[in-house]
A and B are shown apart, each in its own frame.
Chain A
Amino acid sequence: GENVEQHPSTLSVQEGDSAVIKCTYSDSASNYFPWYKQELGKGPQLIIDIRSNVGEKKDQRIAVTLNKTAKHFSLHITETQPEDSAVYFCAPMTTDSWGKLQFGAGTQVVVTP
């Protein structure tokens, strides 16, 4: 089965600085790489995803980069704001009929004003 490691487990940044979270996976068949954000008291929400035929994807202040050879992908948040404070999960998956998200342990991000 898939082994997913996410680092760091906690990340404290000053408002305006950048944050980077790395996710390492073991299953070479994984071909879909999403990042979810979970705010307190809410369910996870997809914030960005990337497919294996793309190396980088950007959406305003967030970006995801993929290194399929090394089996890791990273979430980048620039110009952090207090509303970025949340728990972030990576969840690589194979997009076949039975594909299931394999969640990492999560990263608690705290953005201090």
Chain B
Amino acid sequence: SAVISQKPSRDICQRGTSLTIQCQVDSQVTMMFWYRQQPGQSLTLIATANQGSEATYESGFVIDKFPISRPNLTFSTLTVSNMSPEDSSIYLCSARTSGKNIQYFGAGTRLSVL
């Protein structure tokens, strides 16, 4: 199994500012993902974080708004840029290893934008 740690666990931010969320996995994984979950809703995939190259974004999400880094096989960051109240949500990091379908999730970062 893989244990995923996210920091911060929650934050309250002012509109127009940016927040970087960190994700650390306790073992090397092939794939890392970032999801957004509105309260009471399902999970929406933002992007796949690729090691050493640009992230692959899903429709409706762009790099300028959600820049992602993945410098190695165990760590990734998601930045929510130029925040507005509509960005208030839970952001979840997830990871899985090639050849194994099990996908693990962090506890999430609860973001409120005022």
Contacts and interface: CB of A to CB of B under 8 A. Distances in A.
Interface of A: 32, 34, 36, 41-46, 49, 89, 93, 95, 97, 99-101, 103-106
Judged by DSSP, the binding face of B is strand
Contact of B42 (A32, A43, A45, A104): A104
Give the size category of B's interface with A: 10 to 19
Contact of B92 (A32, A43, A97, A104): A43
Contacts of A36: 105
Contact of A41 (B33, B42, B98, B107): B107
Contacts of A46: 102-104
A42 B37 CA distance: 12
A43 B107 contact: yes
B101 A95 contact: yes
Contacts of B107: 41-43
Nearest to B44: A103
9 residue pairs, one from A and one from B, having the closest CB atoms? A43-B105, A103-B43, A103-B42, A32-B101, A44-B105, A43-B107, A105-B42, A106-B42, A43-B106
Nearest to A93: B101
Contacts of B94: 43
B24 interface: no
Contacts of A104: 42
B48 interface: yes
Given A100-B48, A101-B103, A44 B43 contact: yes
Contact of B105 (A45, A95, A99): A45
B113 interface: no
Nearest to B90: A43
Contacts of A103: 42-44
A15 B45 CA distance: 34
Nearest to B100: A95
A110 B102 CA distance: 26
Contacts of A100: 33, 45, 48
Nearest to A51: B101
17 contacts: A34-B103, A42-B107, A42-B108, A43-B4, A43-B105, A43-B107, A44-B92, A45-B105, A89-B42, A93-B101, A97-B98, A99-B101, A100-B33, A100-B45, A101-B103, A103-B44, A104-B42
